[in-house]
Amino acid sequence: MHALDVLGAPVRRRILVLLADGERSSGELAAAIGAEFGISHPAVSQHLKVLRDNGFASVRAAGTRRLYAVDPAPLEELDAWVDQFRGFWTQRLDALGTELRRGRRRTAASDRPPTTEEQP
């Protein structure tokens, strides 16, 4: 399965966001995702399995609990793939930043009282 197919599901993206803060048990994830998306524990388990099978999450046993964590390798591969398209928006974002700075300078200049040279 391609990374974009795995991350195409909002539930799986949300699970990764929760795991970005650190390890979580399957029970914690099922409770949070179940409340947010209204899905059952088995449905959350299926999403966890997809993430695990495709390398986005790792799992370890801690007694009777299963603790999940993000595995960054596929995300790094995805970032490398997206990198080839960054040029399409980087220049536009740089231009936007320039325009925002110009706007701030204009606003700051119009907010200050006129100097004696500028007064009529």
Residues 49 and 23 in one domain: yes
Give pLDDT, residue 2.
Answer: 84
Q: How many CB atoms lie within 10 A of CB 75?
A: 16
> 56 and 104 share a domain?
no
Domain with 106, as residue range(s), is 85-110
pLDDT tens for 71-93 read 998 998 888 888 888 888 778 77
- Does 106 or 69 have the greater pLDDT score? 69
| Residue 16 to residue 19: CA distance in whole angstroms | 5
Are 58 and 97 contained in the same domain? Answer: no
Q: Does residue 120 belong to any structural domain of this protein?
A: no
55 Rama sector, left if φ>0, alpha if ψ -120 to 50, beta otherwise? left
Q: What's the CATH code of the domain at 10?
A: 1.10.10.10
pLDDT above 70 (res 117): no
Q: How many domains does the chain have?
A: 2
Is 8 within a domain? Answer: yes
* Interval 45-60 mean pLDDT: 96
Residue 76 falls inside a structural domain: no
In a domain? residue 77: no
pTM listed for this prediction: 0.71
